[in-house]
Structure formats: structure tokens, C-alpha cells
Structure 1
Amino acid sequence: MLHDALIAPFTDFAFMRRALAAVIALALGGGPIGVFLMLRRMSLVGDAMAHAILPGAAIGFLLSGLNLLAMTAGGLIAGFAVALLAGLVSRGTGLKEDASLATFYLTSLALGVTIVSVKGTNVDLLHVLFGNILALDDQTLLLVAINATITLLVLAVIYRPLVVESVDPLFLRTVSRAGAPAHLAFLALIVVNLVSGFQALGTLLAVGLMILPASIARFWSRDITPMICIAVPTAVLSGYAGLVLSFQTRIPSGPAIILVAAALYGFSVLFGSVGGLVRQLFPARHLEA
């Protein structure tokens, strides 16, 4: 019975195996990015960037239909453009970066929906907004895997300045000039992983598999490396359980994955060893000398 419910969907159906492989790749790339987004208080920036890629992907859809390369290239261009414009506006005016990003992301979301609606149908619009991880082909899976590999390699190079900047940015500025290049590389990795998530979960849910596992990890550890080690398996578990839930019910796969992650988040809020509500109400007794 358990085999039929938990394992058989992946042994019997190739599309489920591709979806699970995509979830693992998204977790490996997006898990660490989500941890740094949370520590740098940029979670809403990630959400804004997820919407920012929509008009570029929509233009790719308008020109080539549901063509993977066109939509991916358009999403990358739009994401980098919005990040650059928001940075220029915040530095050249008195407007804070979060307000600038909010303006651009709302505009991008409205523009992207309009572009898709001009040529496509409601089904196309739902595909762009919410994705369909069960419909991934080998080409898309390869793209997601390549993006995850690039993310891990770049993170290995910029890991130390990212950690220092997350803890004490002023100290990093006094001892090194690596902060600005690391920050730009980190923004680029956000866009790359959002494009991967967009292919699987759509523009509205792409950031969910980055932020929720990172938030869960924060309730179980205070250190960055253990948080990453918790966030990645949590993202994989959420993806696996969400796919099983979607297969056994009528819940769409993308929302099912995010709902499972949200349930794990609720459990962590209650029972997490670092700041969980139960731990605060019933603190562990310390040994007395």
C-alpha cells in the first residue's frame, strides 16, 4: 500500500521522475539562495524579481509560443533589466530600493499578463503564472540542472564575502572590495534560479521553494552552513511530498509543493529548536552546578 502511494508513481511514470529530478535540482540551487535572501532581509526582493521575469518570458511566448529557449532568454533579460533599473533609480533618487522594486515588479506583472492575454488563452496564462512541473521535458530538465550547477559553482566562489556581508557589511567594506561584485553575482543567481523555478512552478510560485525552506531552517539552526544543509533537504522533501499529493489528488502540482512546504513551516514555528513557540513556552532546563 505504501509502495503504491509513495514509490510507484515515480517507477511507473517518466513524467513523475522528471518532475522529481527537477525538484532536486531546484532545491540544490534555490535552497542556499533562499537562505542568503532571508539573512540579508531580501525575501521580498526575491518575490519582486520572480514577477519581474514575467514580461520577458511573455514576449518570448508572444514571438515563439511555448518555446523553452525563447521564454528563458526573455525571462533572463527582463530580470536583469528590472534589477539594474531598480538599482539605478534607488541610487539616483531618494527612493528606497524596496519601493523601487515594488514599482517595477507590479508594472512587470501587469505587462506580462497583458502580453500573454493578447495572444494566448486562459490555459496559457495559467501555465505562465503557475507553471506545470509535471509537463517538463528533457530539454527543460537539462536547463534546470545546468542552472543549479552554475549556482553551486558561483556560490562556492563568492560564499565567504556573502557570509561576511550578511553578518557585518560594514566590516567587509573596510577590509575588502569583494562586497559589490559578490552582491551583483548574487543578484544574477537569483534571476537564474527564478527562471528555473518559472519553468516548473510559474512566476507566482517560483520563489516559494527558495524562501519557505530557508525560513524553516531558521527555526532549527542559527548558523549559516547548517541552515543551508537543512533548507536543501527540506525543499526536496516538500517537492517529493507535493508531487505525491498532486498525483493522488486533484491539487495542481505547484501549489501542492508550496502547501507542503507551508505545512513544514507551521510545524517549525511550533516545535523548532531555535525560537519555536513550544520551546519558548516550555524552555529546556539548564544543568545547575
Structure 2
Amino acid sequence: MFDFLIAPFSEFAFMQRALVGTIAIALGGGPVGVFLMLRRMSLTGDAMAHAILPGAAFGYLLAGLSLPAMTIGGLIAGVVVAIAAGLVSRLTTLKEDASLAAFYLLSLALGVTIVSLRGSNVDLLHVLFGTVLALDDSTLLLLASISSITLVALAVLYRPLVLECVDPTFLRSVSRTGTPTHLIFLGLVVMNLVGGFHALGTLLAVGMMMLPAAAARFWSEDITIMMLWSIAIGIVSGVGGLLLSFHAELPAGPAIILVAGGLYVLSLVFGREGGLLWLVMPGRHLEA
């Protein structure tokens, strides 16, 4: 048991770094994913994950695999796409989901093209699927900073975020914090996607944000408990995925998302809050 569970992390520095990185991603991404899910913006997160690709690819074109260049480029691209999609949905008859889909497809195609202009297929795979087993100190510091900022911001904005999930019209009627809260939240989404991008790539970064959040929904109806569940499921997914990757010689990023998907399926079946098993079980007398 020690050789299977502990030895990979105690003997190999790259596994330790990958573990720290995935824990940092889970700490920040899980709670953000819960609010995305509650606000019915899950597909927005997926679109935003692809939206950061052109900026990161442009940073790569200028400076190679440079952490600052790709991070700044990804942040700028994500914010620009979020604002552009919002303006299109408000100034035209096109709905926000359709405008996001259009920008997401354009961003993905543009990002892949930019990377292909200079890089090899290996570089393209790095951008699309990440290199969680090759995280360096600067990347770990970035991931830790993003998760810390996210947790502090969510603690400060917890009340308006919850109110906006439940009744955004009421929030706008009693407070002017609705719009700033929404913009800050979108900024947190972009930040966590950029952080996840460095470890898991643009195609998988949103997986560590949405799958733990979706799984957590089947274990609690309380938002705070749901956030804690999402963090725990994210951490277990990271540990399990790294172990699966190490022992089965699989790509680490996809292995982590596969484990997260497996935990989602288990939650879907056995979760106490709407899980399939509990739905088919007969309730007690006079109980719905």
C-alpha cells in the first residue's frame, strides 16, 4: 500500500510539485466552479477556458514558453472575450451563450494557428493539454497566489454572490454591488482558468473547476458545504489522477480529469442530495 499510494510522492520531486499544483488548483477552482454552476454559467466557464488560448499563444509567439508572457496574454484575452461577449449580447439580438460560443470557436482556432506558426507539435500539445508533471517554482507560486486571491475575494464577496445566485433582481434593487461583484467574479474565473491552463492546458483546465463542483452538488444543498465538498473532490481527483498516471503510464492531465469524472459519476449515483440511488429508494411514510 505504501509503494502504491505514498512512494511516488515521497521519492519523486516532480510528483510532489504536481501534487502541490493540483491542490492549489482545487482550492481556487472548486469554489469558483460552484458559483458558476449555481449561476447556470457552466458552459461559460468552458468558453472562457478556450478564450484565453489566443492571448497565451501570442505570449508564446513573443517569448516562447515564458510563464509571465503566457499568463498576461491569457488574462488579457479572457477579459477581452468576456467583455466582448457581454456587449454583443446587450447591444444585439444575439444571446450571451451564442456570442460566447462564437468567440470561443474563433479563439480556439486562432490560438492553435498562432502556436503552429512557431512551435512544434510538442509545443501545441503543451498548450492544449498542459504539463502538470513539469511545474517549476514560479508556476507553483503563481498557482498558490491565484488560489489565495480567489479564496480571499470569495470570502469578501460571499453575500452578494449568493444573493446574485438566488435573486439577482433583488440584489440590484437593494444594492449597487451587483455589477461590480459580477465583474470581479468573471475576473476570478479568468484567473483560475489561466492558472489551470499552465498545469492542464486550455482543453482540460475547466475540468478541475466544473467536475468537482457538479459532484459536490449531489452531497449538500448548503453553498458553503458545497464549496468544501468541491475542494475535497478536486484534491482527491488530483491525487488519484497523479497516481493513475504514474502506475498506468497515462498522461497526467487527462488522468486527473478522468478521476474527477469518475467521482462525478459516483456522486450522481450515490449522492444524498438528488443521487439516482436515493431517488429510486422508497421514502418513509408521509415523506416526499
Q: Does TM-score exceed 0.5, indicating one fold?
A: yes
The answer for the alignment partner of 2:100 in structure 1 is 101
Partner of 1:66: 65
Identity rate, percent = 68
Secondary structure of the equivalent of 2:250?
Answer: coil
Root-mean-square deviation (Å)? 1.0
AA of the residue aligned to 2:272: S
What residue identity is the alignment partner of 1:10?
Answer: F
Alignment of 1:223-262 (within 5 A): 223-262=222-261
1:215-230 to structure 2, matched below 5 A, reads 215-230=214-229
2:158 corresponds to which residue? 159
Q: Which amino acid in 2 is paired with 1:41? A: R
Provide the C-alpha distance between the structure 1 equivalents of 2:264 and 2:51, rounded to a whole number of angstroms.
26
Q: Which runs of 5+ in 1 are unaligned?
A: none
Q: Distance in 2 between matches of 1:283 and 1:262?
A: 28
Deviates more, 1:60-69 or 1:193-202: 60-69
Please state whether the residue corresponding to 2:157 is helix, strand or coil. Answer: helix
TM-fit CA distance, 1:171 = 1.2
In the alignment, the residues of structure 2 paired with residue 145 and residue 218 of structure 1 have an alpha-carbon distance, to the nearest angstrom, of 25
CA deviation map 1:65-106 (0-9, x unaligned): 111111111101100110111111111111111111110010
Give, in angstroms, the shift of residue 287 of structure 1.
Answer: 8.1
Letter in 2 for 1:95: L
Listed as ranges, the matches of 1:116-265 within 5 Å are 116-265=115-264
2:113 corresponds to 1:114: yes
- Number of the residue aligned with 1:29: 28
SS class of match (2:244): helix
The separation in 2 between residues aligned to 1:139 and 1:212, in whole angstroms, is: 27
Alpha-carbon deviation of 1:223? 1.5
Give the Cα–Cα distance (whole angstroms) in 2 for the partners of residues 23 and 284 of structure 1. Answer: 39
Counterpart amino acid of 2:106?
T
- Residue 286 of structure 1 deviates from its aligned partner by 4.8
Deviation at 1:283, TM superposition (A): 3.3
Could you tell which deviates more after superposition, 184-193 or 216-225? 216-225
> How far does residue 147 in structure 1 lie from its aligned partner after superposition?
0.6
Distance 1:82 1:250 in 2: 37
Structure-2 separation of matches of 1:103 and 1:65: 28
Q: Distance in 2 between matches of 1:72 and 1:7?
A: 32
Specify the alignment match of 1:75 in structure 2: 74
Cα displacement string for residues 227-279 of structure 1 (whole angstroms, at most 9, x for unaligned residues)? 00111000000000000000111210010000001111111111111111111
After superposition, the C-alpha distances for 1:48-74 in whole angstroms (9 at most, x for unaligned) are 000000000001111111111111111
CA distance in 2, matches of 1:283, 1:219: 18
Deviations 1:207-229 (A, max 9, x none): 00010001001111111111001
- Stretches of structure 2 that go unaligned for 5 or more consecutive residues are none
Q: How many residues are matched? A: 287
Asked whether 1:275 is paired with 2:269, we answer no
Q: TM-score, normalised by structure 2?
A: 0.98
Moved over 4 A (4+): none
Between 1:40-49 and 1:270-279, the stretch displaced more is: 270-279
Q: What is the 5 A alignment of 1:11-50?
A: 11-50=10-49
The whole-number CA distance in structure 2 between the counterparts of 1:74 and 1:30 is 20
Q: Deviation at 1:285?
A: 2.2
Q: Distance in 2 between matches of 1:154 and 1:18?
A: 26
Distance 1:110 1:272 in 2: 38
